Amino acid sequence: MPLMTSLMRCTPAVSAGADDTPKHLGWIMLTALGIGATIGAGIFAMPGMIAGKAGPAGILSFLITGFVIMMVAICYDQFSRRVTNGVSAYSYVYHSLGELFAWIVAFGLFLEYSFGSSAVSIAWGEYLKNALGYTLPQFWAGPTNGPDGFHFGINIVAVAVVTVVTLILIFGGVSKSAKLNFILVCLKMTLLVIFLVVGAKHVNPANWVPFMPKGVDGVLKGAALAVFPYVGFDALFTFARESKSLKDTRRATFLCVGIVAFLYVTVMAVATGLAPCFINGVGNPLFVGSEAAAPLAKLLSNAGEEWTSKFISFGAVLGIFNVLLVLCMGGPRIFRNMAEDGLLPPIFQKTNKGNPVVGIALNGLIVALTAGLVPFGDIADMMVLGTLIAFMFVGIGAMRLKLVNPIVSILCSVGCVILMFHLGHLVLKVYCITLPVGLLIYFFYSRHHSKLGKAAASERNLRI
């Protein structure tokens, strides 16, 4: 088989084998899973970092990203109707653009879920520290990358929470995890309402001036980072095979994106009204550095609302734990689909109570190492890049199959490219180094074990 033909081979829309995946998730549970993965570290941690890049105009950053994500969601929804046995961008790109692009997307999704989980676990540790008021020796608090250079350390709290989540998923199963997720989502929505009500009393409109201190470039940099909070709906689609119906999946998709966009914009408006984003041209400590991992609690404390700050911190500890739970459930499901396609060893297909245990264990190890050894901001940027690459190819694939209006596909793909190039240069350099490693795995293992490749070889032998 010519090389290019093998690289561009596509999966059929419907799998030949019977799908025995239990259909047990309705639109309420699916929406809760999407919100559970989205409303967490995104809304409890990222407003600080986005305000540090865009100032009060971070509100516009969330709106711009929300628009791009809505275009992506439309493409996802149409793919879920065509590729009914697929999960997330990996399956959709495999069907529309071919095997090589699917592998690149899977690599990007690996970055999304592993780096995303790592960043979430660090934010969880910051809120726990704010809630309990404990301190750790600098070495065990994790690495820092400040004005005086990089200082090595191990974030022992982040490593511990990743270990606990991994064990819950291995031994707890999907059904219990989804129910736990629903309870925690309700808790988080309550916390956000409390933050908005209490914080609104202390908003000083003078803190919104100047509104756009870093100009359009700052807004776009903030929008690029705002991809991190919005990607929960992608986690929702890793459960698409477990949805009761396509109608449930569609309803959950747009409810998730709409609710999340509204909450992000309102929380960002209140957060930036509680304190100036910059003081004498220098970033306010509340919005930069390690403090940016727990800005909502810190901002309320700064406004004199100590008890509310503590309450938000305690609630965020549970809420962000929920995000970590969902993210660590999503990545291994992509491994499972890749193993079913022959691109990864069959061991990744093995499940216990609905959860792919080997993928979860491997994911837990990678996430724990990353969370323990890499600073928060660097991890967040890496997660965003992998996500944007996956979204870009989904838009191109939707255009190729004419699943959506071409304008939607163009807005989806071009929007992702614009945001991609407003990430840090270091992130792009790291991706250019790590992607070839992933491609080596594809060319030395996956291409030769691909079920599509084996089927094509068998067909050729029969003709001979």
Residue with tokens 């991809």: 227
Mean pLDDT score, 437-445: 87
The position carrying tokens 């609104």 is 200
- Average pLDDT along the chain: 81
Q: Answer yes or no: is pLDDT of 151 > 90.
A: no
Whole-angstrom Cα distance, residue 166 to residue 103? Answer: 25
**Mean pLDDT value of segment 97-115:** 83
pLDDT at 10: 83
Cα–Cα distance measured from residue 334 to residue 103, given in angstroms and rounded to the nearest whole number: 11
pLDDT of residue 203: 92
Residues 51 and 53: their CA atoms lie apart, in Å, by: 5
Angstrom distance (rounded) from CA 118 to CA 362: 14
User: Which of 65-69, 169-173, 350-354: highest mean pLDDT?
Assistant: 65-69
Give the least confident one: 88-102, 147-161, 432-446: 147-161
What band does 123 get if pLDDT is binned at 50, 70 and 90? confident
User: How high is the pLDDT of residue 219?
Assistant: 94
Distance of CA 413 to the CA centre of its chain: 18
Alpha helices in 55-98 (DSSP H): 58-82, 88-96
* Whether residue 451 has pLDDT greater than 90: no
Q: What is residue 178's predicted lDDT score, i.e. its pLDDT?
A: 60
Q: What is the phi/psi pair of residue 155, to 5°?
A: -80, 90
Q: Which of 120, 33, 457, 62 is nearest to 268 (CA)?
A: 62
> For residue range 325-334, what is the model confidence (pLDDT) as tens digits?
777 877 788 7
Q: Yes or no: say if 102 and 90 are a contact pair by the CB < 8 Å rule.
A: yes
Q: What is the percent of the chain where pLDDT is above 90?
A: 18
pLDDT given at position 33: 74
Per residue in 350-381, pLDDT tens?
Answer: 877 767 888 888 888 988 998 888 776 666 66
Packing angle of the helix pair 174-200, 27-38 (nearest 10 deg): 60
Task: Give the pLDDT of residue 160.
Answer: 92
- pLDDT at residue 218 greater than cutoff 80: yes
Q: How far apart are CA 330 and CA 324, in angstroms?
A: 10
Walk me through the domains of the chain, giving residue ranges and CATH numbers. Answer: 24-454 (1.20.1740.10)
Quote the strand ranges of 51-210, DSSP E: 144-146, 149-151
- Lowest average pLDDT, out of 32-36, 79-83, 268-272, 281-285, goes to 32-36
Q: What is the pLDDT of residue 87?
A: 65
Does pLDDT of 247 surpass 80? yes
pLDDT at 1 over 60: no
More confident residue, 428 or 14: 428
Give the model confidence (pLDDT) of 285-327 as tens digits.
Answer: 877 655 555 678 888 888 888 888 888 888 778 777 777 877 7
